[in-house]
Chains A and B, each alone.
Chain A
């Protein structure tokens, strides 16, 4: 689903690369944790998948296509196949939960009927049944993140990228979010989640890819993460 061939990303010639010769393959319907300290290259990895940035060297393949070959005007089509969730939720503060989710469908030209049918379903999947008409500030952090996930999956993307989705949430709420992501994954969506929350990584026992200074230092099928200690030792 996602394949990195010797990808190097250099933002600034003088500093070290954000990603350094990264080769990695994520298969369809896989759930992958991308772990590592801040600045290890997790976000850069996600940005390259979205073609928000282009690789300095090497090739990034998403859904079988080299993203370097996708012309600018086709990039929106690529992104419709990828859902994204962020640490800071990125909801529109002046729109209700329903409207925030519907927004993702409106801008891609879905009909009003389809939106009215789909959005309540998706809100139910993320556990927000009946809260569609709340404004973001009337929702808790966990609920806001659920709205963000609903928005990310409402167009049924093949890939879901999550950049520290639990970074602003307490452990209990975080587990709720993880349950939703697992549910999304079980339905066939490839999930790549960047995090440095070791409790979550250790309790889910999924594939773990660890980045350090832009290099892949570990790739384990049912891994754990002891990031802080390892980082201190290394």
Chain B
């Protein structure tokens, strides 16, 4: 009976306060959409890191005719230099760090280049002797790039040691900044949502002070008096969270499908991962609304 009574009180509260409830729903919707977007971006970043860090290699470029670095002063790499670099890479000392070494000749390099820039007119003007040959080194731990750099960049015949991770880091930092921006907007919007919920609940309690006064007189417990108001806030916020969840689900589904067609090589987060985030958003909404409603009521509904 008491549950039915509380629910009917919640219903009448929501109906009486409809415009405020709608504004709570909308503000929560927007704020949680941003929270969710920031979360999804972070998921995507860690997904890409996991995927790429396994694949990135350290490239040890060897000297060609027009190399500028001091180690190339003697001209293009010689066969002995190449052999000693390979021996060092595959040797005992580095075996702890290096998982695989591939040699890319100038012809291989031209082949990759032509694949990569298939649609560009530049392809026709590039010849194999302009491109450096290189050793592609896969590391056991991608963080240990420094060891390879230290060991090889001063060896004669080595032009430059480059870490592909540097390129990725740039991409990740852009994504990180975007997710930070989303989080910032989410923070401001969430603050708005919390304040709006508190105001709405206060208003609702004020407009029903007659009822709550009588409830107190006939001996209703604090929980029975306050619960309808708290539930009102929670229901409105969860409504907003559901809208945010739907929006995030649909837009991420669309984006992931679209992007993975554009970039089939890239690992995108899966639909399941998006689904896992949504209950977190709904819980967050319920928690925020519950706490802010309770705090708002502390001063306005006394027993």
Given contacts A90-B213, A92-B210, contact A107 B218 (CB under 8 A): yes
Give A78 to B210 CA distance when docked, in angstroms: 20
> Which residue of chain A lies nearest to B212 when distances are taken between CB atoms in the complex?
A107
Contact, CB under 8 Å: A109 / B1: yes
A65 close to B (CB within 8 Å): no
A79 pairs with B216, CB closer than 8 A: yes
In the assembled complex, the Cα of A170 lies from the Cα of B224 at a distance in Å of: 37
Complex alpha-carbon distance, A120 and B195, angstroms: 45
Contact pick for B221, options A76, A81, A103, CB 8 Å = A76
Contact status A107-B210, CB under 8 Å:
no
- A112–B218 contact, CB under 8 A? no
Contacting residues, chain B, for A130 (C-beta < 8 A): none
Cβ of A155 and Cβ of B218 under 8 Å apart?
A: yes
Is B219 a contact partner of A80 (Cβ separation < 8 A)? yes
A106-B2, A109-B1, A110-B1 given; A76·B214 CB < 8 A: no
Contact, CB under 8 Å: B216 / A90: no
In the complex, whether A77 has a CB less than 8 A from a CB of chain B is: yes
Taking a contact as CB atoms under 8 Å apart, the answer to whether B210 and A90 are in contact is yes
The verdict on B215 contacting chain A, using a C-beta distance below 8 Å, is: yes
Chain A interface mostly helix, strand, loop or mixed? helix
A92-123 interface with B by 8 A CB criterion: 92, 103-104, 106-112, 115
Whether, in the assembled complex, A207 has its beta carbon less than 8 Å from a beta carbon of chain B, the answer is no
At the interface, yes or no: B217 with Cβ under 8 Å from chain A?
A: yes
Query: Number of residues in B with C-beta < 8 Å to the partner?
Result: 19
Residues of A within 8 A of B54 (CB): none
A64 at the interface (CB under 8 A from B): no
> Complex: how many Å from CA A75 to CA B211?
18
B220 in contact (CB, < 8 A):
yes
Chain B CB within 10 Å, residue with most, of A77, A81, A82, A103: A103
B222 at interface (Cβ–Cβ under 8 A)? yes
Q: Is B303 at the interface (CB under 8 A from chain A)?
A: yes
- Chief secondary structure at chain B's binding surface: helix
Bound together, the chains give a CA A218 to CA B199 distance in angstroms of 50
Would A72 and B218 count as touching, CB distance under 8 A? no
- Closest 5 pairs between A and B when the two form their complex, measured CB to CB: A80-B219, A107-B220, A79-B219, A104-B218, A109-B2
- Name 25 A/B residue pairs within 8 A (Cβ), A-sorted: A50-B217, A72-B303, A73-B221, A76-B219, A76-B221, A76-B222, A76-B303, A78-B219, A79-B218, A80-B218, A90-B217, A92-B210, A92-B211, A92-B214, A103-B215, A103-B218, A106-B5, A107-B2, A107-B215, A107-B219, A107-B225, A108-B219, A109-B2, A115-B1, A155-B219
A177 at the interface (CB under 8 A from B): no
Which residues of chain A are near B221, meaning CB under 8 Å? 73, 76
- A151, B215: Cα distance in complex, Å: 11
The CA-CA distance from A81 to B210 in the complex, in Å, is: 21
Residue of B whose beta carbon sits closest to that of A94: B12
Q: Which of B142-182 contact A (CB under 8 A)?
A: none
A112 to B2, CA, bound (A): 9
Contacts of A110 in B (CB 8 A): 1
Smallest CB-CB separation from A110: which chain B residue? B1
Q: Given A79-B216, A79-B218, A115-B1, 5 other A-B contacts at CB below 8 A?
A: A72-B303, A73-B221, A76-B220, A82-B219, A106-B5
In the complex, which residues of chain A have a beta carbon less than 8 angstroms from the beta carbon of B2? 106-107, 109
Q: Is the CB of B220 within 8 A of A108?
A: yes
Residues in B whose Cβ lies below 8 Å from that of A73 = 221-222
Partner of B214, one of A77, A82, A90, A108: A90
